[in-house]
């Protein structure tokens, strides 16, 4: 499958560049259409009048929210630091290590909503429960994404002019002193 995609991209580069350039407000239109095509089969199975019964499954929703917002972003920051910042560091460009870790943190802090519908549909999951979890996670994402990412990525507008990964377990004396001198000044100044 991947070889076909690579071959098509090699032999028809203009077609795929046009697909990649089909954007509105930085959103790729073909990707947006395909995401909706993944979600629609799940949505047509939902009886929206029955959504009130989801409250009976509060424990499952609570576990999902706890994992998505209290465990996943922080564990991904730890795994990013462990693998990108330590284990694979010799194989990666030194000036891009923090960017790779920042990318992992940004991905981990936002729960994937479209794929939840697909996985739930594939395993014949309860569509009302899935819809309610996705909707609740999306509402929480509006308010929690920026503070969590802001905590894990220390002050990108600091004088250090780069994203520095906030990893408490990584606070060596040199990192701690550079953090205090550059990024810490931004927090004290309220920036």
pLDDT in tens, the chain (191 residues): 667 878 888 888 999 899 889 998 888 999 888 888 877 776 777 777 777 777 787 888 888 889 988 998 999 889 988 999 889 999 999 888 888 888 888 888 887 777 787 778 788 888 878 888 888 888 888 888 888 888 888 644 433 444 444 444 343 334 444 444 444 444 444 44
Task: Provide the 10 A C-beta neighbour count for residue 163.
Answer: 20
**Helical axes 29-43 vs 114-122, angle rounded to 10°:** 40
What pLDDT does 83 receive? Answer: 92
Torsion angle in degrees (nearest 10) through CA of 98, 99, 104, 109: 100
Please state the pTM of the whole predicted model.
Answer: 0.58
Half-sphere exposure of 91 (CA within 13 A, CB side): 5
Residues 6+ apart with CB under 8 A from 120: 42, 126, 127, 130
> How distant, in Å, are the alpha carbons of 62, 79, 143 from that of 67?
9, 15, 17
Measured distance CA(81)–CA(170) in Å, rounded: 8
Token readout for 161 is 């002019």
CB–CB of 181/158 below 8 Å?
A: no
Q: Measured between alpha carbons, how far apart are the two ends of the chain, in Å?
A: 47
């Amino acid at each position: 499958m991947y070889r076909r995609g690579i071959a098509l991209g090699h032999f028809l580069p203009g077609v795929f560049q046009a697909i990649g350039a089909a954007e509105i407000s930085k959103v790729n239109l073909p990707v947006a259409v395909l995401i909706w095509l993944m979600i629609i089969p799940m949505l047509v199975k939902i009886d929206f009048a029955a959504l009130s019964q989801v409250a009976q499954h509060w424990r499952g929703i609570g576990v999902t929210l706890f994992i998505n917002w209290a465990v996943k972003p922080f564990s991904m920051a730890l795994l990013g630091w462990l693998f990108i910042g330590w284990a694979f560091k010799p194989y990666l460009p030194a000036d891009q290590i923090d960017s790779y870790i920042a990318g992992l943190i940004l991905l981990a802090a936002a729960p994937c909503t479209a794929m939840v519908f697909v996985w739930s549909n594939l395993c014949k999951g309860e569509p009302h429960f899935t819809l309610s979890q996705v909707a609740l996670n999306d509402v929480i994402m509006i308010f929690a994404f920026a503070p969590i990412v802001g905590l894990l990525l220390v002050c990108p507008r600091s004088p250090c002019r780069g994203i520095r990964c906030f990893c408490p377990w990584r606070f060596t004396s040199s990192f701690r002193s550079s953090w205090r001198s550059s990024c810490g000044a931004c927090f004290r100044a309220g920036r």
